[in-house]
Amino acid sequence: MRYTDAPARRQELLDRLAAAGYVASADVAAALGVSEMTIRRDLRRLADDGLARRVPGGASLPDARGPEPFETRSGSARPAKRALAEVAAALLTESSTVALDAGTTVAEIVDLVPEGVGVVTHSLPVITACAAAGGREVVALGGFYEPTTRSFTGPATWNAVRELTVDVAVLSCSALDDRGVYSANPVDAEIKRALIEVADRVVVLADRHKVGARAAVRFAAPEAVHVVVTDADQELTAYAEVVRVDA
């Protein structure tokens, strides 16, 4: 069905936003049989009306909130994050390539990645740390720069990820429970989904403040995660493996 009628098309966009929390302009244009320019124009109209919020590559619900600034989060619970990173690094010894996402807990793992293991990342702090250390193969993913996460994101980043393959993806999260793993916003969730698609093994780092918390967008079901590394005491029965850390 072609959505040539603008009111019907915008209502369809609102329905998709309500269901998923986010729409990608390119994907929804293909699904509705119209140009991406038309969808961007519709999303601008919805944003002007207060019904959507424009984000790189599409739109989210108007009340979708991004994470706290990277610097604020990176200084929080540093010893616990380091303990999680040390345990996660021990899971990488048989890998040749690891993907590291833009979370502050994941950033702690950079200097612990075993020698000879290549790194794929969209995180500017991870790219910078790898470049400073030298001697490591790094695939740096570009795209739209997001200051709050100090990372690159958007369609260019997602498409670049999907051309790759990695042994392990190490991901952070905003919340985790037996229903799945969550991110604070749909743009961040999209890059995490892309990394999961290309990884043979997925490791999620979740400190005690994340387990049982709430966040806006689920980016992975429990069955998509191979290992959860956490210092939380809560029971997690839906995951294949949970590694407990004393932090």
Same domain, 110 and 203: yes
Same domain, 81 and 150: yes
The more confident residue out of 192 and 58 is 192
Q: What average pLDDT does this structure show over 48-62?
A: 82
Same domain, 19 and 99: no
- Using DSSP bridges, classify how beta strands 151-153 and 175-177 pair: parallel, antiparallel or unpaired: unpaired
Q: What average pLDDT does this structure show over 89-99?
A: 95
Same domain, 56 and 76: no
Same domain, 95 and 171: yes
How far is the CA of 45 from the CAs of 57, 62, 88, in angstroms?
16, 13, 45
In a domain, 208, yes or no: yes
In a domain, 212, yes or no: yes
Query: Quick check: 73 pLDDT over 80?
Result: no
In a domain, 226, yes or no: yes
Res 14: pLDDT: 85
In the chain, the percentage of residues whose pLDDT exceeds 90 is 51
Query: For residue 51, what pLDDT band results from cuts at 50, 70 and 90?
Result: confident
Kindly state the DSSP code that residue 208 receives in the 8-state scheme.
T
Q: How many domains does the chain have?
A: 2
For 217-233, how does the pLDDT look when each residue is reduced to its tens digit (9 = 90+)?
A: 899 999 999 999 999 99
Query: Quick check: 75 pLDDT over 50?
Result: no
pTM (global) more than 0.85: no
Q: What average pLDDT does this structure show over 47-70?
A: 72
Q: Which residue has the tokens 């293991």?
A: 117
Q: What average pLDDT does this structure show over 144-156?
A: 87
Query: Quick check: 247 pLDDT over 80?
Result: no
Beta strands, E only, the chain: 22-24, 53-55, 58-60, 97-100, 118-121, 138-140, 144-146, 151-153, 166-171, 175-177, 180-183, 199-206, 217-220, 227-230, 242-244
Distance CA 211, CA 45 (A): 38
Same domain, 12 and 96: no
The more confident residue out of 150 and 69 is 150
Same domain, 92 and 194: yes
Same domain, 102 and 209: yes
Same domain, 129 and 223: yes
- Which CATH number does the domain housing residue 43 bear? 1.10.10.10
Query: Quick check: 194 pLDDT over 90?
Result: yes
Q: What average pLDDT does this structure show over 119-128?
A: 95
Q: Which residues contact 224 (CB under 8 A, 6 or more apart)?
A: 196, 202
- Domain of residue 26, residue span: 6-60
Same domain, 165 and 43: no
